[in-house]
Structure 1
C-alpha cells in the first residue's frame, strides 16, 4: 500500500502533519522550547540516535522551523518565527497529555511563566466575549484557497459533512 503524501494535500492540517507529525519532531521542538540549542544536548536529553536526530533537525531547518547558526566553532539550532508560532500547538499537545495520560501522581513537570510564576496553559478557542468555543459550535467553510472539491465539501449548503 502506498503512503499518502500529506505535503501534497490542500488541507492545512495534513500539511502541518507532513512537517510536524513524525514521531520525534514534537519532542525535538519540546527541547528547543526548553532552550536546547546544541546537537549533543538534543541527543542527550531525548535519548535519540544521532542519525535520526540529524534527519529531524535537518527537516526542521528545511521547513524554516529551526535555523542552524554558527556558535563558537560549532553549530546551534535556534527557533525561527515559524518555529515560535508552533508553541501554542506544543502547549496543546502537552496539556492534553498531562491531563489525560499522566499517572495518578500527575505530570512529571509543570510549565510556569517566568514573569508571573503562574502555570502556562494552551490557549483555548474563545469568542470575542471570552466564552469558550466548543467543537460542535464550529462550521468549516471554503477559504480563499479552496478548490472545487473543497467548495463542494464545505460549501454553504453542506449538511452533515
Structure 2
C-alpha cells in the first residue's frame, strides 16, 4: 500500500510526519540514539524484515535524518549516522517515550528515562525556552506564520474564537 505524502501540507506537524515516516522509522531513530548505526544492528534490535528496514533507512536518509557512510569496501557496507536534523528528533522521541510511560501499567515498564551522569530518574515536560513555562493545551495556540494564506488565517481565527468562547 502506498502511503500518503504530507510534504505539501501547510502544517509543520504533518510535514514532520512525512519526514519521519512511520513507527518503524521512529524505532530506528530510537535505536540510533542508543548507539546503533548498522543495518544488522537495527535488524537484530527490531526484528524487522530486511526489505522494510532498507526502505525506512533509505527514506530517513533521503529526508536528511541520517547520513549514510561506507564502513566496509567488499562487500559494501554502510552505517547510518544521525545528522543535525536527526538529532533534533530526540525531544520528540523523549516526549513520546514519556507519554507512553505515563499511560502504561507500572509493572510493564522495562525502561525509564534517567540522567546519564547521576542515574537519577528523569521526569519530562515540554517548556517554552524563552519563559520556562510549561506548554499545555490550555496555554498554547497556533499563530499565523510567514506562509499563511487566507485559509490559515480563517482557521486560526476560528480556533481563537473557540478558545475565547466566542461564536464565530
Q: Decide which of 151, 160, 166 is 1:149's aligned counterpart.
A: 151
Displacement of 1:157: 9.1
Is the 8 Å Cα contact of residues 68 and 75 (structure 1) preserved in structure 2? yes
Number of equivalenced pairs: 159
Partner of 1:97: 100
Q: Please list, as runs of the form range in 1=range in 2, the aligned pairs for 1:70-81 lying within 5 A after superposition.
A: 70-73=70-73, 74-81=77-84
Task: Give me the whole-angstrom Cα distance separating, in 1, the residues matched to 2:84 and 2:129.
Answer: 26
Between stretches 59-68 and 11-20, larger displacement belongs to: 11-20
Partner of 2:39: 39
Partner of 1:27: 27
Between stretches 39-48 and 119-128, larger displacement belongs to: 119-128
TM-score under structure 1 length normalisation = 0.86
Task: Give me the whole-angstrom Cα distance separating, in 2, the residues matched to 1:119 and 1:72.
Answer: 39
Partner of 1:15: 15
Displacement of 1:134: 2.2
Between stretches 103-112 and 121-130, larger displacement belongs to: 121-130
Partner of 2:87: 84
Q: Deviations over 1:19-64 (max 9, x none)?
A: 2241211111111111101100100100000000000000000000
Structure 2 residues without counterparts, runs of 5 or longer: 164-168
Displacement of 1:106: 4.4
Is the 8 Å Cα contact of residues 88 and 123 (structure 1) preserved in structure 2? no
RMSD: 2.4
